[in-house]
Amino acid sequence: MNAKESTGPVPGASFRRRHHCTVCAVVSPVFAQLPGFGRDDAGARAVGRSHYRVWRWVQRYAPILNQRMRREVRNPNRSWRVDETYVRVAGKWTYLYRAIDSEGNTIDFMLSPYRDLNAAKLFLRLALHRTGQIRPRVINVDGHPAYARAISELKDSRELGRRCRCRPSPYLNNVLEHDHSFIKKRIAASLGFRSVEGALRTIDGYEAMHMIRKGQVRWLEKGDVIGQIHFIQRLLGIAA
Protein backbone atom coordinates (compact mmCIF):
# COMPACT_ATOMS: atom_id res chain seq x y z
CA MET A 1 0.00 0.00 0.00
CA ASN A 2 2.60 2.55 -1.05
CA ALA A 3 0.98 4.10 -4.09
CA LYS A 4 1.82 7.77 -4.38
CA GLU A 5 -0.95 10.38 -4.39
CA SER A 6 -0.92 12.67 -7.38
CA THR A 7 0.05 16.25 -6.57
CA GLY A 8 -1.85 17.75 -9.49
CA PRO A 9 -5.04 19.79 -9.15
CA VAL A 10 -8.33 17.97 -8.77
CA PRO A 11 -11.43 19.04 -10.74
CA GLY A 12 -13.49 21.64 -8.87
CA ALA A 13 -16.82 20.02 -7.94
CA SER A 14 -15.34 16.84 -6.53
CA PHE A 15 -12.66 18.72 -4.71
CA ARG A 16 -15.03 21.24 -3.12
CA ARG A 17 -17.17 18.43 -1.72
CA ARG A 18 -14.11 16.64 -0.39
CA HIS A 19 -13.27 19.43 2.04
CA HIS A 20 -16.71 20.51 3.27
CA CYS A 21 -16.12 18.54 6.48
CA THR A 22 -15.52 19.04 10.18
CA VAL A 23 -11.84 18.16 9.91
CA CYS A 24 -11.06 21.07 7.64
CA ALA A 25 -13.40 23.45 9.47
CA VAL A 26 -11.50 22.95 12.72
CA VAL A 27 -7.99 22.20 11.48
CA SER A 28 -7.58 24.63 8.57
CA PRO A 29 -7.11 27.73 10.77
CA VAL A 30 -4.47 25.78 12.69
CA PHE A 31 -2.67 24.54 9.56
CA ALA A 32 -2.64 28.11 8.26
CA GLN A 33 -0.15 28.98 11.01
CA LEU A 34 2.31 26.27 9.95
CA PRO A 35 5.41 27.15 7.93
CA GLY A 36 5.60 26.77 4.18
CA PHE A 37 2.21 28.01 3.04
CA GLY A 38 2.91 31.67 2.24
CA ARG A 39 1.53 34.99 3.43
CA ASP A 40 -0.94 37.49 2.12
CA ASP A 41 0.02 40.94 0.78
CA ALA A 42 -0.09 42.44 4.27
CA GLY A 43 2.41 39.89 5.56
CA ALA A 44 -0.07 38.07 7.80
CA ARG A 45 -0.49 34.33 7.46
CA ALA A 46 -3.31 33.49 5.09
CA VAL A 47 -5.88 30.81 5.90
CA GLY A 48 -5.88 29.93 2.22
CA ARG A 49 -8.91 29.67 -0.05
CA SER A 50 -7.57 26.99 -2.34
CA HIS A 51 -9.08 23.55 -1.81
CA TYR A 52 -5.90 22.05 -3.16
CA ARG A 53 -3.92 23.84 -0.46
CA VAL A 54 -6.23 22.45 2.24
CA TRP A 55 -5.81 18.96 0.75
CA ARG A 56 -2.01 19.33 0.93
CA TRP A 57 -2.26 20.40 4.58
CA VAL A 58 -4.30 17.31 5.37
CA GLN A 59 -1.92 15.00 3.50
CA ARG A 60 1.11 16.46 5.27
CA TYR A 61 -0.11 16.99 8.81
CA ALA A 62 -3.04 14.59 9.45
CA PRO A 63 -0.75 11.55 10.03
CA ILE A 64 1.41 13.64 12.39
CA LEU A 65 -1.69 14.75 14.29
CA ASN A 66 -2.96 11.17 14.59
CA GLN A 67 0.40 9.87 15.78
CA ARG A 68 1.04 12.55 18.38
CA MET A 69 -2.46 12.67 19.84
CA ARG A 70 -2.41 8.93 20.63
CA ARG A 71 -0.14 9.62 23.61
CA GLU A 72 -2.86 11.82 25.13
CA VAL A 73 -5.92 9.56 24.86
CA ARG A 74 -7.51 7.44 27.57
CA ASN A 75 -7.01 3.69 27.53
CA PRO A 76 -9.98 1.73 26.14
CA ASN A 77 -11.93 -0.65 28.32
CA ARG A 78 -11.75 -4.42 27.84
CA SER A 79 -14.99 -4.91 25.89
CA TRP A 80 -14.20 -4.37 22.22
CA ARG A 81 -16.33 -4.08 19.06
CA VAL A 82 -14.69 -4.95 15.74
CA ASP A 83 -16.18 -4.56 12.27
CA GLU A 84 -15.34 -3.43 8.77
CA THR A 85 -16.98 -1.12 6.26
CA TYR A 86 -16.31 -0.26 2.62
CA VAL A 87 -14.18 2.55 1.18
CA ARG A 88 -13.68 3.27 -2.51
CA VAL A 89 -9.96 3.67 -3.30
CA ALA A 90 -8.59 4.15 -6.83
CA GLY A 91 -11.90 2.94 -8.26
CA LYS A 92 -11.96 -0.27 -6.20
CA TRP A 93 -13.81 -1.21 -3.03
CA THR A 94 -11.45 -1.59 -0.06
CA TYR A 95 -12.21 -2.75 3.47
CA LEU A 96 -11.85 -0.31 6.34
CA TYR A 97 -11.41 -2.29 9.55
CA ARG A 98 -12.28 -0.38 12.73
CA ALA A 99 -12.34 -1.18 16.44
CA ILE A 100 -13.90 0.71 19.36
CA ASP A 101 -14.66 -0.19 22.97
CA SER A 102 -18.13 -0.49 24.53
CA GLU A 103 -18.11 3.23 25.41
CA GLY A 104 -17.42 4.24 21.80
CA ASN A 105 -13.74 5.07 22.19
CA THR A 106 -11.78 4.47 18.99
CA ILE A 107 -9.00 1.88 19.30
CA ASP A 108 -7.57 1.58 15.78
CA PHE A 109 -8.33 1.28 12.07
CA MET A 110 -6.79 -0.42 9.04
CA LEU A 111 -7.33 -0.44 5.27
CA SER A 112 -7.14 -3.80 3.51
CA PRO A 113 -7.96 -5.04 0.00
CA TYR A 114 -9.13 -8.31 1.57
CA ARG A 115 -11.76 -9.46 4.06
CA ASP A 116 -10.28 -12.75 5.23
CA LEU A 117 -8.45 -14.49 8.06
CA ASN A 118 -5.09 -12.83 7.42
CA ALA A 119 -6.63 -9.36 7.35
CA ALA A 120 -8.65 -10.01 10.51
CA LYS A 121 -5.60 -11.33 12.38
CA LEU A 122 -3.40 -8.44 11.22
CA PHE A 123 -5.95 -5.88 12.33
CA LEU A 124 -6.37 -7.47 15.77
CA ARG A 125 -2.59 -7.49 16.18
CA LEU A 126 -2.43 -3.80 15.27
CA ALA A 127 -5.17 -3.02 17.79
CA LEU A 128 -3.39 -5.02 20.51
CA HIS A 129 -0.14 -3.21 19.75
CA ARG A 130 -1.94 0.13 19.92
CA THR A 131 -3.38 -0.57 23.40
CA GLY A 132 -0.13 -1.81 24.96
CA GLN A 133 -0.86 -3.82 28.09
CA ILE A 134 -4.65 -3.57 27.74
CA ARG A 135 -6.07 -6.92 26.65
CA PRO A 136 -9.77 -7.40 25.86
CA ARG A 137 -11.89 -9.83 27.84
CA VAL A 138 -14.45 -10.01 25.02
CA ILE A 139 -14.40 -9.06 21.33
CA ASN A 140 -17.82 -8.51 19.76
CA VAL A 141 -17.94 -9.21 16.03
CA ASP A 142 -20.58 -9.17 13.31
CA GLY A 143 -20.56 -12.92 12.66
CA HIS A 144 -17.89 -13.04 9.98
CA PRO A 145 -16.18 -16.43 10.61
CA ALA A 146 -12.65 -15.10 10.05
CA TYR A 147 -12.76 -13.28 13.39
CA ALA A 148 -13.45 -16.39 15.46
CA ARG A 149 -10.53 -18.23 13.87
CA ALA A 150 -8.22 -15.20 14.14
CA ILE A 151 -9.04 -14.81 17.84
CA SER A 152 -8.49 -18.52 18.44
CA GLU A 153 -5.06 -18.40 16.77
CA LEU A 154 -4.06 -15.27 18.71
CA LYS A 155 -5.03 -17.03 21.94
CA ASP A 156 -2.92 -20.03 20.92
CA SER A 157 0.06 -17.71 20.38
CA ARG A 158 -0.67 -15.98 23.72
CA GLU A 159 -1.16 -12.62 22.06
CA LEU A 160 -4.67 -12.71 23.53
CA GLY A 161 -5.61 -13.99 26.96
CA ARG A 162 -6.97 -17.52 27.13
CA ARG A 163 -10.24 -16.28 28.64
CA CYS A 164 -10.90 -13.74 25.89
CA ARG A 165 -14.24 -14.50 24.25
CA CYS A 166 -15.28 -14.00 20.66
CA ARG A 167 -18.95 -12.99 20.79
CA PRO A 168 -20.86 -12.72 17.49
CA SER A 169 -23.50 -10.11 18.20
CA PRO A 170 -24.72 -7.67 15.53
CA TYR A 171 -26.91 -6.01 18.19
CA LEU A 172 -23.98 -5.20 20.48
CA ASN A 173 -22.04 -3.95 17.45
CA ASN A 174 -24.66 -1.27 16.76
CA VAL A 175 -22.51 1.21 18.66
CA LEU A 176 -19.75 0.59 16.11
CA GLU A 177 -22.14 0.87 13.17
CA HIS A 178 -23.20 4.25 14.53
CA ASP A 179 -19.56 5.28 14.95
CA HIS A 180 -18.85 4.23 11.34
CA SER A 181 -21.35 6.85 10.19
CA PHE A 182 -19.09 9.81 11.03
CA ILE A 183 -16.20 8.43 8.99
CA LYS A 184 -18.46 7.25 6.16
CA LYS A 185 -20.06 10.68 5.82
CA ARG A 186 -16.64 12.28 5.45
CA ILE A 187 -15.58 9.65 2.92
CA ALA A 188 -18.83 9.96 0.97
CA ALA A 189 -18.25 13.72 0.69
CA SER A 190 -14.83 13.00 -0.84
CA LEU A 191 -16.33 10.77 -3.58
CA GLY A 192 -13.67 8.17 -2.79
CA PHE A 193 -9.88 8.37 -2.89
CA ARG A 194 -7.43 8.35 -5.78
CA SER A 195 -4.75 6.28 -4.06
CA VAL A 196 -4.19 4.13 -0.98
CA GLU A 197 -1.63 6.56 0.41
CA GLY A 198 -4.05 9.47 0.04
CA ALA A 199 -6.83 7.44 1.67
CA LEU A 200 -4.66 6.47 4.64
CA ARG A 201 -3.47 10.01 5.26
CA THR A 202 -6.95 11.50 4.97
CA ILE A 203 -8.57 8.87 7.18
CA ASP A 204 -5.79 9.48 9.72
CA GLY A 205 -7.16 13.02 9.96
CA TYR A 206 -10.80 11.94 10.09
CA GLU A 207 -10.11 9.42 12.86
CA ALA A 208 -7.92 11.81 14.87
CA MET A 209 -10.51 14.59 14.77
CA HIS A 210 -13.30 12.12 15.56
CA MET A 211 -11.41 10.92 18.66
CA ILE A 212 -10.82 14.50 19.81
CA ARG A 213 -14.47 15.43 19.28
CA LYS A 214 -15.63 12.31 21.15
CA GLY A 215 -13.67 13.42 24.20
CA GLN A 216 -11.00 10.71 24.18
CA VAL A 217 -8.22 13.09 25.17
CA ARG A 218 -7.72 12.52 28.91
CA TRP A 219 -7.81 16.13 30.04
CA LEU A 220 -9.96 17.74 27.32
CA GLU A 221 -13.73 18.11 27.59
CA LYS A 222 -15.85 16.68 24.78
CA GLY A 223 -17.56 19.95 23.81
CA ASP A 224 -14.60 22.29 24.31
CA VAL A 225 -13.97 23.37 20.70
CA ILE A 226 -11.53 26.14 21.66
CA GLY A 227 -9.63 23.72 23.86
CA GLN A 228 -9.53 21.23 20.98
CA ILE A 229 -7.99 23.83 18.67
CA HIS A 230 -5.40 24.76 21.29
CA PHE A 231 -4.66 21.06 21.79
CA ILE A 232 -4.00 20.63 18.06
CA GLN A 233 -1.82 23.73 18.06
CA ARG A 234 0.27 22.31 20.88
CA LEU A 235 0.66 18.93 19.17
CA LEU A 236 1.88 20.60 15.99
CA GLY A 237 4.22 22.98 17.80
CA ILE A 238 2.28 26.16 17.04
CA ALA A 239 2.24 29.07 19.47
CA ALA A 240 -1.34 29.71 20.56
Question: How confident is the model at residue 189, as a pLDDT?
Answer: 75
The helix (run of H) or strand (run of E) holding residue 139 is: strand 138-141
Q: How far apart are the first and last CA of the chain?
A: 36
pLDDT in tens, 17-38: 443 344 454 455 455 545 444 4
In order, the DSSP letters of 53-74 are HHHHHHHHHHHHHHHHHGGGBP
- CB-based contact 22:213 (threshold 8 Å): yes
Q: List, in order of start, the domains of the chain with CATH numbers.
A: 13-73+207-235 (no CATH), 79-181 (3.30.420.10)
pLDDT in tens, 70-111: 999 999 999 999 999 988 898 899 999 999 999 999 999 999
Q: What predicted TM-score, i.e. pTM, was given to this entire model?
A: 0.78
* Whether pLDDT at 133 is above 90: no
46 pLDDT band, cuts 50/70/90, is: very low
In order, the DSSP letters of 68-137 are HHGGGBPPP-SEEEEEEEEEEETTEEEEEEEEEETT--EEEEEEES--SHHHHHHHHHHHHHHHTT---S
How long, in residues, is the chain?
240
In the chain, the amino acid numbered 62 is A
